[in-house]
Amino acid sequence: PYLKDSRVNVALRLAQGEFSKIPFTDLNAKLAWDHSILRLEPFSVKTLDGKLIGSTVLNLKEYYNRQDEPTVSASFKSQGIDLQKLSLIVKPEMAKILGGLLNGEIILASKGFLPNDILANSKGRIAGQITKGYFDSLEMLQNSFQDLSKDEKIAAFVASKVGTSPCIDKHFTARVD
């Protein structure tokens, strides 16, 4: 029999690990392969001083049938994820700009095999709340103007009028297209 036609169910437990440079502990999940569809659901994992729970489905049917990219769908809920720690790993310059604890929901659909391809092709919705946080508009504006090769004096002037603001309780919703 071919792998695409097989079925496998596994209880997965990992004490610690790393995914795309993000460390995690206490991964508990059910891993299932059923006729070219890989499911990691439900799962829970501790990371960045918080917790993620949810599901991920990788559908390889079209890959096996027509060599198309696999489709990916994911649904996560985050509880107390430290944004500063995440930024330090993913985009260090953002750690000075945005911090706090992230609680929310992420629902995404995409195509691809590799994490970077999956992120680049993602579409979906993100909703949540940042608590005990901050947003440094001065740093943000200075970075924006530097990225655009604009005058730093203008950035500093505008940003000084805005300043750093705590976002002790900030709700947000976004679409990913």
Q: Which residues of 89-114 are buried (b: 16+ CB within 10 A; e: fewer)?
A: eeeeebbbbbbbbbbbebbbbbbbee
pLDDT score for 134: 78
Q: What is the per-residue pLDDT across 97-148, written as a single tens digit (0 to 9) for each? A: 888 899 999 999 999 878 788 878 889 988 888 888 877 766 666 666 555 4
Tens-of-pLDDT digits for all 177 residues of the chain? Answer: 577 778 999 999 999 999 889 999 999 999 999 989 999 999 999 999 999 999 999 999 888 777 888 999 999 999 999 999 999 998 888 888 888 899 999 999 999 878 788 878 889 988 888 888 877 766 666 666 555 445 556 555 555 555 555 555 666 676 766
pLDDT score for 20: 83
Give the residue among 128, 124, 121, 152 at the shortest CA–CA distance from 139.
152
Give the residue among 73, 86, 171 at the shortest CA–CA distance from 130.
171
